[in-house]
Structure 1
Amino acid sequence: MRRVATGLLIAMAAVFLIARALHGQHPALGFVQAFAEAAMVGALADWFAVTALFRHPLGLPIPHTAIIPRNKDRIGDQLASFLRDNFLIPRVVARRMSRLDLASAAGRWLANPTAGSKRLTRGTSRLAVEVLQSLDQERLGGMIRGAMVQQVRRIDLAPVLGRALQAAIAENRHLPILEGIIRWAGRVLEANETVVRAMVHDRAGSILRWTGLDETLSNKIIDGLNKMIADMAADPDHPLRGKAEEGLTSLAADLQNDPAMRGKIEALKTELLENPAMQDWINGLWEQARAAMLRIARDPERMLAGGVGDALKQLGQTLQQDVRLQRTINRFVRRAAVGAAADYGDTIVKLVSETVHSWDADTITRRLENAVGKDLQFIRINGTIVGGLVGLLIHAIDLAL
């Protein structure tokens, strides 16, 4: 467009020279000459005006030219002020956010993601992958481990365990655990019969060993234990099962009310958290979660077709149908946006201002000139045409007088 505008100026100069050379041959050539002459003046005037905004015309330090480079710092301050006054004031953000129903929009997309923009899905996927891959894994893993450990440290674990055990006993949900312990005891006894026999043999007197009664005693002990375990497994009302349940009930009460028991649980929790194996396990949890998130981010369509996709679709339908939930989410988003504007608005404004200040004159000139684009050259073209039409009018008035 710059070449078109300059070419039009050159064309008007050529028309002017031709019309001036042939001036006396036809009366209409006077109008042509007047048009071309005025068009050149208009083109040159607008070229000077456009150029003066961004640089010195012909490199000459003419006063009041190169306006934007000379005032770039003031422009940056004004731009930052405009951004603050029109976008980053909390009440302005609140008013604009009140018009948005983000919950319903998110619900529609989640309920039917294939009907939305695939470009949006792919772009979100790429962004998620880049973010996950760019994070410092060692540092982030340490942060997550630290956050998890701190959260667990804040929990008074003993009362929680006590209430959970008490609720399980009240609803008989402890019975499978108790039966599992009984079966485990049977397997342990079966696997360690030789140990029991060796203990009886070592503790028996020489007479028992000489007569072989130690072996009989061992068999009686093992048979008795096996029978007791079998009876406990078969009889829900077995006295020992009742004693075990009484012990569990007492344990639930102690976990909630006994300071000594609570202290033991806290000490055990602290020891467990400080164990390197536990810390490695927590790190492994994060790595597994990160790998799963990367798999989902790299293949969002597969994720949306599976169980996670069904859950997201159900969430989308709920968001569309539950007006109360919509209001809650929209209110949360609005408050978050307003809070961000209040907390970080001045920082953003300062960043814009300092960024513009740091640009050199050539950078800001080039960026603004490219941003305005073709319109600058249309100013020159329009100046050429309007100037020519004014020249025609003046020439016509001159002839009429």
Structure 2
Amino acid sequence: MAKPIGPSHNLTTQMKNIDKKQALANMRLFATSLLLLVAALYILARSRHGHHAWDWVAAFAEAAMIGALADWFAVVALFKHPLGLPIPHTAIIPRNKERIADNLAAFVRDKFLDTEVLVEKVREFNPTLKIAAWLTRGANAALLADKLVAVFVGALDFIDDLQVRQLLRSAVAQRLQQLDVGVLAGRLLDTLTEDNRHQALLDAGLRRCARLLDDPDNQKVLAGMILEVAGREYPTMLRMVGVVSNTEELSEKIAASLVAGVNRWLHDISDDPQHPRRRQFDDTVTEFIEHLKHDPAYHARIAQWKHQLLSAPLVAQYIDGLWDQLKTWLRDDLARDDSAVRRKIAAGAGQLGQWLTDNPQLRDSVNQHMADAARALVFDLRETISHHIASTVKKWEDSELVRELELSIGRDLQFIRINGTLVGGLIGLILHGLFLFL
């Protein structure tokens, strides 16, 4: 995992730059001192003119001094004008900054970001196997779960609740608007009525009604309802009945008679598979299903109900409450040490790692998908990176570019001056020897 850039990182970078500056200064001082040394040696040798041995020293020192000055000029000319003089073809790097930036970007793009090279690197790396090995090793799955939970907790604090509620309401409304409730209900009822399942439902309802009517308490309630209705609808008749008989007793008898009659009717329907009421029930259900699936009037009515439902403030409040409840539950759960979400993530990560470990064909398939994805992304990646390199280098100030390059390669360039001094001196000795020989 990449370490965040902070004060410690900046301090380390500054220390490295200081070390580079010091190393460059030391090598520059050494190369210059060597030039001064051979210059002094040349003056000393010339002052001893006529002495055969000092002629060899003078030849060495003269050639070494020329080599040192030539290489000094070459090194300085890379970065600036020597002695500040606008000599042609000097300050080569600042003057060609844009061309260098384009060439550097093209070099990185073509040599380091070649499509097939990167795809082959993905295959060689075998990322799926390494992921599987990491997930199944020690407590890595739990570590991954902890990191993801930390991300979730941070995300909860930055989520715009109002926007989420609006998106949730919009998504639910859109899905319900697209849903043909009538056709869906018709198909559902088709499934429920296969193999006469609705007749079993009818039998259960008949038995339930019979048990309710057999209950004495329900009979008394029914009797009370009869008296209440009769007293409200037919008060005169009820008073006349009360003259010759006890109205409560009469209502109980009537209720008992009704119960007995209804029970007989219910049992008749229940016991006779061909009872007319059963066939009527079948026809009613079939007709209702056909209306649900094909009747435009039913569809329009259902659509109106659906629109009224979606427009109801209580529905919006309910959907908003779902998000609030979910967020509260997530926050409370993620704050606990025994978080259910954390356990599920850790368990899922471990199972994924084991699954990838035990299925080489799956690993090969995932690796191939990664390679294909890399191939699809490489073109844009190459162009983006090369453009970034070129634009970044072009935006640098000339002094900044020179400073960075000098810190990076300036120390090695001073070796050119040193080598030029020594090699020039050796060549001077060789030329002096050839002159004497000839």
Give yes or no for TM over 0.5: yes
Question: Partner amino acid for 1:206?
Answer: T
CA distance in 2, matches of 1:136, 1:222: 65
Structure 1 equivalent of residue 75 of structure 2: 46
Of 403, 416, 434 in structure 2, the residue corresponding to residue 386 of structure 1 is: 416
Q: Work out whether 1:158 is the aligned partner of 2:182.
A: yes
Structure 2 equivalent of residue 361 of structure 1: 395
The 8 Å contact of residues 38 and 61 in structure 2, kept in 1 or not, is answered as yes
Q: Work out whether 1:395 is the aligned partner of 2:425.
A: yes
SS state of the match for residue 306, structure 1?
helix
Q: Work out whether 1:144 is the aligned partner of 2:168.
A: yes
CA distance in 1, matches of 2:156, 2:410: 50
Of 287, 299, 313 in structure 2, the residue corresponding to residue 276 of structure 1 is: 313
CA distance in 2, matches of 1:40, 1:222: 131
CA distance in 2, matches of 1:175, 1:74: 85
Deviations 1:212-252 (A, max 9, x none): 626853796599679979x989x986999968974656544
How does the TM-score come out when normalised to structure 1?
0.61
Deviation at 1:32, TM superposition (A): 9.2
The 8 Å contact of residues 46 and 379 in structure 1, kept in 2 or not, is answered as no
Structure 2 equivalent of residue 5 of structure 1: 24
Q: How does 1:1-400 map to 2 (within 5 A)?
A: 1-14=20-33, 16-17=35-36, 24=44, 42=71, 45-46=74-75, 48-49=77-78, 51=79, 65=91, 75=101, 79=105, 114-115=139-140, 118=143, 124-131=148-155, 133-170=157-194, 196=225, 198-208=228-238, 211=242, 213=247, 217=251, 221=255, 246=282, 251-290=288-327, 302-303=339-340, 306-307=343-344, 309-310=346-347, 313-314=350-351, 345=380, 361-362=395-396, 376-400=406-430
- Structure 1 unaligned blocks of 5 or more: none
Deviation at 1:206, TM superposition (A): 3.0
Question: Number of paired residues?
Answer: 380
Question: Partner amino acid for 1:114?
Answer: A
CA distance in 2, matches of 1:244, 1:141: 48
CA distance in 1, matches of 2:271, 2:428: 125
SS state of the match for residue 143, structure 1?
helix
- Structure 2 unaligned blocks of 5 or more: 1-19, 46-52, 434-438
Q: Which has the larger radius of gyration?
A: 2
Deviations 1:258-293 (A, max 9, x none): 444333333322222222222232333344445566
CA distance in 2, matches of 1:293, 1:244: 53
CA distance in 2, matches of 1:387, 1:393: 10
The 8 Å contact of residues 153 and 331 in structure 2, kept in 1 or not, is answered as yes
CA distance in 2, matches of 1:228, 1:160: 36
CA distance in 2, matches of 1:341, 1:226: 85
Cα distance change, pair 204–72 in 1 and its aligned pair in 2 (3 A): farther
The 8 Å contact of residues 5 and 380 in structure 1, kept in 2 or not, is answered as yes
SS state of the match for residue 412, structure 2?
helix
Question: Partner amino acid for 1:202?
Answer: R
The 8 Å contact of residues 232 and 238 in structure 1, kept in 2 or not, is answered as no
Deviations 1:37-86 (A, max 9, x none): 8668646743552x45xxx8899888774856985599479959986999
Deviation at 1:394, TM superposition (A): 1.9
The 8 Å contact of residues 107 and 316 in structure 1, kept in 2 or not, is answered as yes
Question: Partner amino acid for 2:139?
Answer: T
Deviation at 1:4, TM superposition (A): 1.8
CA distance in 1, matches of 2:337, 2:110: 37
Cα distance change, pair 379–33 in 1 and its aligned pair in 2 (3 A): farther
CA RMSD in angstroms, aligned pairs only = 6.2
CA distance in 1, matches of 2:141, 2:101: 40
Question: Partner amino acid for 1:137?
Answer: D
Cα distance change, pair 99–226 in 1 and its aligned pair in 2 (3 A): farther
Deviation at 1:160, TM superposition (A): 2.1
Cα distance change, pair 74–17 in 1 and its aligned pair in 2 (3 A): closer
How does the TM-score come out when normalised to structure 2?
0.57
Cα distance change, pair 221–114 in 1 and its aligned pair in 2 (3 A): farther
Deviations 1:173-226 (A, max 9, x none): 9959x77x969x97xx97x95994644532242342572626853796599679
CA distance in 1, matches of 2:221, 2:94: 95
